[in-house]
Structure 1
Amino acid sequence: MSNILIIKHGSLGDIAQACGAIQDISEHHKDDQIHLLTTKPYYDLFKKNPHISNVILDKRLSKLNLIYLYSLMKSIKRYSFSKVYDLQNSSRTSFYKKILFPSAAKDIWSSTETTLPAGTTKQDFDKDSVLERFDHQLKSSGINTVHTMKPDFKWSSSDITQIKDYYKLDKYIVLFPFCSPHLNSKKWPYYNDLINIINEKFNNMYKVVSAPGPNEIKEASNVNALAILDNGRALDISQLSSLIKGSSFVVANDTGPAHMTSHLGSKGLALFGAHTTAHKVSIERENFKAIQVSELSNLSAEKVFERLSSSIS
């Protein structure tokens, strides 16, 4: 039995997308121990993943923090990993490779760098969709990719019966009108208009809710939707997963919860401006679609409702 390491630091959307690749790696190494290196926001979450044996915490302190770096590398080396799958493919993980396996090829360290198609630059390769890149990386590493292109995030859910009972949630639509402050280009401005249309057209058949993150609770008061919290605190990822899975529909900006919805198999819509494309971030699925426009401020609430109403039944 060998020890196998997978590296996946984040973000939330990336975590949901990587589930299929992690499952394929685990099934390929079914007689080995699968360890995963991740960051604090996802440490407890990954402990629930049935395809992972052990989770290792990377605090991602500065690379100039030599004491921390030495401690982390020492911790990793003690497992004597026979193979590493770098699903983060960042400058940081490339730096880790230089320390741990400086001259390793794809038979030891699987990454974009070591599996890059001949004659292709990383810049050009990165233009492919996220899941296509994972698929190529794993196939080049000798793995049969059964699940990579269709991640399943359902393992992440937890029991939120008490929360749903408290808010009397039965038939409900979840909105995610938030985004990181430095990514305002992703924010669609007409959620309150959409809420008015939903309530009017559906005659209040659906309760309209939001699920703000820890830094979004104050902002949620500006949205005319019921903010779902757990005793005044933001839902954790597993609770959020369950809230999404039990919903009738989700409308979201291009953020982590949108990717969760996609890979939970739930019905919904993601709203895209010119910042990227739905194809590149691999978000569309059988039940989850995207509306792509050049400018989000030109996308009307009526247009979004039209797509919602045609899909929700």
Structure 2
Amino acid sequence: MKSRILVIKLGALGDFVQAFAPFAAIRAHHPDAEITVLTTRPFAEMAAASPYFDHVWIDDKPRLWQWGKLAALRARLRSGRFGRVYDLQTSDRSGWYFRLLGPGVEWSGIAAGCSHPHANPGRDFLHTAERQAEQLAMAGIAAYPPADLAWAEADLSRFGLPHPFALLCPGGAPHRPAKRWPAGHFATVAVWLAQRGITPVVLGTDKERAEIVAIATACPQAIALTGKTGFLDILGLGRHAMLALGNDTGPMHLIAAAGAPALVLFSAASNPDLCAPRGRVGLLRQDDLADLDPEPVKAKLVEMVTG
């Protein structure tokens, strides 16, 4: 009988992308196991497209007072008859799930009393990638090769993009506006790219519509894909882009993971030592991004492409 493994990774987007390597390591360590991932709805399509999981379960994240939903979740978790759980979320919520599953299940994470604890009191001061690698090493997974994202391809022909093109990500979490470089500065870079024969392709959702409109107005050559790209599309675009520029936001993790040279802009609102994308990534940091002039950004992009 196959062993049954549960992997927990609920989000957010950047964190999910940085779990690709742990996902691959778990699959390589348990090649014959039946592996289920418990995630949230936005990431289900990516999880299903990947070669890492046999089953994708959606967690609607019931509240503590939603007794019926919690009972249903407990029943489902226990029905999986999992022999081991890799908790890559390591949150208070996933700690509840350790208790919901009950005794007798091997558990890698930080839940009190688990069998394979990530026993490093300084874990919160590690970059996400190093923290997860160390957690898996303490659970017996020492081999940790980079994730091969050859599976992460999408049909981009519907966008009709000319080559070469550069990706611009002017958005970010709506509740953290300090993480956004001004749209006018993105527009300046877009015009500069277009003058050099590189088509700016602007990514975002309706939440970034104002910024995207400002960029497209200043640079008519820009192509706005507002609300048209899913996560697999962004991975595909990242495989073919000449370069990318964006704020500290989830899509930049996708683009960097796909291999594009990516310049990520950080403010004082986040710490790149803990969460920056990995790959062919450049970083610029300014406490207040409004004070970051476009000229050093242009210079860094040139350095990344030609260096």
Secondary structure, in 3 states, of the residue corresponding to 2:125? coil
1:146 aligns with 2:144: yes
CA distance in 2 between counterparts of 1:306 and 1:267 reads 14
For 2:4, the equivalent position in structure 1 comes to 3
For 2:241, the equivalent position in structure 1 comes to 247
- The question of whether the paired residues in 2 share the 8 Å contact of 1:283 and 1:289 is answered with no
Shift of 1:219: 4.0
Secondary structure, in 3 states, of the residue corresponding to 1:261? helix
TM-score for both structures, normalised by structure 2: 0.90
1:206 aligns with 2:201: no
Whichever residue aligns with residue 54 of structure 2, its letter is S
Shift of 1:136: 1.0
Secondary structure, in 3 states, of the residue corresponding to 1:252? strand
- The question of whether the paired residues in 2 share the 8 Å contact of 1:214 and 1:234 is answered with no
Counterpart pick for 2:172 among 174, 179, 197: 179
Q: How does 1:127-146 map to 2 (within 5 A)?
A: 127-146=125-144
Whichever residue aligns with residue 135 of structure 2, its letter is Q
Whichever residue aligns with residue 188 of structure 2, its letter is D
For 2:28, the equivalent position in structure 1 comes to 27
For 1:80, the equivalent position in structure 2 comes to 81
For 1:265, the equivalent position in structure 2 comes to 259
Secondary structure, in 3 states, of the residue corresponding to 2:86? strand
- The superposition leaves residues 108-129 of structure 1 with CA deviations (integer Å, 9 ceiling, x where unpaired) of 11013452336x2xxx421111
Secondary structure, in 3 states, of the residue corresponding to 2:82? coil
For 1:159, the equivalent position in structure 2 comes to 155
- The question of whether the paired residues in 1 share the 8 Å contact of 2:35 and 2:54 is answered with yes
Q: How does 1:1-313 map to 2 (within 5 A)?
A: 1-101=2-102, 108-113=106-111, 114=114, 115-117=117-119, 120=121, 124-147=122-145, 150-163=146-159, 165=160, 168-189=161-182, 190-200=185-195, 202=196, 205-224=197-216, 225-229=222-226, 233-285=227-279, 287-313=280-306
- The superposition leaves residues 37-76 of structure 1 with CA deviations (integer Å, 9 ceiling, x where unpaired) of 0111111221111011110111113221111111111112
Secondary structure, in 3 states, of the residue corresponding to 1:222? helix
For 2:219, the equivalent position in structure 1 comes to none
- The question of whether the paired residues in 2 share the 8 Å contact of 1:176 and 1:211 is answered with yes
CA distance in 2 between counterparts of 1:142 and 1:43 reads 27
Q: Which runs of 4+ in 1 moved over 6 A?
A: none
Whichever residue aligns with residue 140 of structure 1, its letter is M
- The question of whether the paired residues in 2 share the 8 Å contact of 1:261 and 1:288 is answered with no
Q: Which has the higher contact order (CA 8 A, sep 6+)?
A: 1
- The question of whether the paired residues in 2 share the 8 Å contact of 1:2 and 1:82 is answered with yes
Give the unaligned 5+ runs of structure 1.
none
TM-score for both structures, normalised by structure 1: 0.88
- The question of whether the paired residues in 2 share the 8 Å contact of 1:272 and 1:292 is answered with yes
Shift of 1:279: 2.2
Whichever residue aligns with residue 209 of structure 1, its letter is V
CA distance in 2 between counterparts of 1:33 and 1:296 reads 46
Secondary structure, in 3 states, of the residue corresponding to 1:155? coil
- The question of whether the paired residues in 2 share the 8 Å contact of 1:46 and 1:52 is answered with yes
- The question of whether the paired residues in 2 share the 8 Å contact of 1:152 and 1:264 is answered with no
Corresponding residue pairs, total: 294
Shift in CA distance, 136/47, structure 1 to aligned 2, threshold 3 Å: same
Give the unaligned 5+ runs of structure 2.
217-221
RMSD: 1.9
Shift of 1:292: 2.1
Whichever residue aligns with residue 256 of structure 2, its letter is S
CA distance in 1 between counterparts of 2:36 and 2:30 reads 11
- The question of whether the paired residues in 1 share the 8 Å contact of 2:237 and 2:255 is answered with no
Shift of 1:153: 4.2
Shift in CA distance, 40/211, structure 1 to aligned 2, threshold 3 Å: same
Shift of 1:284: 3.8
